């Protein structure tokens, strides 16, 4: 398989210095479409400000952040309690990954101009080898992983109902992004389930 090839393989995939799970049809298309409409209407979407080059600008997407009962009960006050629709998706991801999650970050990309820049989800609170389960709904968007030392790339078309799990040392050695696209794109919702240790300090 050449560098940057779109993966057709499903299941667990070993990559250099990391591990992924890929299932493009984790949730059947018609159910995924209902979930998309439900989440787009019901989640409390917010466009948060971030600092970029010393200026405050709005993030290039909308977000909502939830924790479970434990995290909600005083340790991470900003997280609202996870709605039932997300709790059930969380259990499905947990069954596949074998890891329990207590939080979810929901991202809404309104069109092709909304994006997620290169980053690692490597905050101390996530632990050293975090498992992050990413479920997508609505429009398909390209997701790119880039190895920090070799520059090697892995790309996925994250379609509606797909599940991509990043595990092992992926967050230490790879960055990932959802690039902007000039093509006309409808809205996409992405849920990333994580397990946050609220007692760990950054
Ligand atoms: O939208 C995506 O597929 C990626 C989201 C992501 O990387 C994140 O929330 O940290
Ligand atoms: Fe991420």
What does pTM read for this prediction?
0.90
Domain boundaries, the chain: 11-194
Best residue among 143, 156, 165, 175 to mutate for probing ligand 1's pocket (most ligand atoms within 8 Å of CB) is: 143
Helix, strand, coil % over all residues of the chain, rounded to 5: 20, 40, 45
pLDDT tens digits along 30-43? 999 999 999 999 99
Taking the domain 11-194, which CATH number applies? 2.60.120.590
**Alpha-carbon span 64 to 3, nearest angstrom:** 34
Q: Where are the alpha helices (DSSP H) in 43-83?
A: 69-72
What ipTM does this complex have? 0.99
Which atom in ligand 1 lies closest to the alpha carbon of residue 134?
Answer: 3
Q: Which of 178, 179, 180 to mutate to test the pocket of ligand 1 (most atoms within 8 A of CB)?
A: 178
- When mean pLDDT is compared across 62-66, 73-77, 127-131, 186-190, the lowest value belongs to 73-77
């Amino acid at each position: 398989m050449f560098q940057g090839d779109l993966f057709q393989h499903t299941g667990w995939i070993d990559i250099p210095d990391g591990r992924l799970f890929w299932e493009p049809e984790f949730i059947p298309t018609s159910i995924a479409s209902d979930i998309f409409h439900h989440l787009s209407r019901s989640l409390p979407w917010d466009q948060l400000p971030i600092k970029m080059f010393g200026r405050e600008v709005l993030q290039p997407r909308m977000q909502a952040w939830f924790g479970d009962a434990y995290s909600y009960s005083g340790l991470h006050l900003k997280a609202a309690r996870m709605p039932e629709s997300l709790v059930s998706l969380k259990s499905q991801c947990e069954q596949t990954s074998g890891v329990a999650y207590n939080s979810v970050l929901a991202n809404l990309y309104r069109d092709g101009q909304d994006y997620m820049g290169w980053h690692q989800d490597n905050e101390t609170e996530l632990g050293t080898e975090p498992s992050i389960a990413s479920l997508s709904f609505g429009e398909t968007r390209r997701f790119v992983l880039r190895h920090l030392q070799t520059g090697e790339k892995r790309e996925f078309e994250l379609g509606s109902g797909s599940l991509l799990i990043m595990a092992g040392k992926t967050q230490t050695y790879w960055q990932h992004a959802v690039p902007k696209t000039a093509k006309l794109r409808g809205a996409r919702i992405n849920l990333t389930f994580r397990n946050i240790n609220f007692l760990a300090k950054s």
